Amino acid sequence: MNLSDYIKRRNGVPLGHSDSLRNMLSRSLGAGKFSIFWQYWNPIWGFYLGKYIFKPLKLMFPQALSLLITFVVCGFIHDLAIMLLKWEFTLLLTPWFLFMGLSVIISDYAKIDYSKFSWIVRAVINITIISGCLFLAYQVRF
């Protein structure tokens, strides 16, 4: 699958469509599982992480570990961009993404599904999970 097909599948509209951002936010925030949130969030970034990080890792490691490593790599790339801009070592997004990856794995393992709730309740749950992971990341910030 190429990038254009992937984005249309995730957003329901082609790459560059004016409704792309609205659809991404609506679908991701309204997801009934935290793992589904990540299927819709930032499809361009997700396409490349899946293709170049997650899929090769799955050839060597179990899926859950591959997913966790992918989240950590993603967080580190974000941290690396900040470090290059600020010219100082800092890791906040790496542990944040680690905690979000753990949340995906744990919530899937526990079969946590809130898809029967209204969109607003699902959005609050997803934002709460993300915020809680950020809070934890601040507690262990390097």
Domain boundaries, the chain: 3-139
Q: Which amino acid is located at 106 in the chain?
A: I
**pLDDT tens, residue order, the chain (142 aa):** 899 999 999 999 998 999 999 999 999 999 999 999 999 999 999 999 999 999 999 999 999 999 999 999 999 999 999 999 999 998 999 999 999 999 999 999 999 999 999 999 999 999 999 999 999 999 997 6
Q: pTM for this one? A: 0.93
Q: What angle do CA 93, 99, 104 make, to 5 degrees?
A: 125
142: exposed, middle or buried (Cβ count in 10 Å: 0-12, 13-18, 19+)? exposed
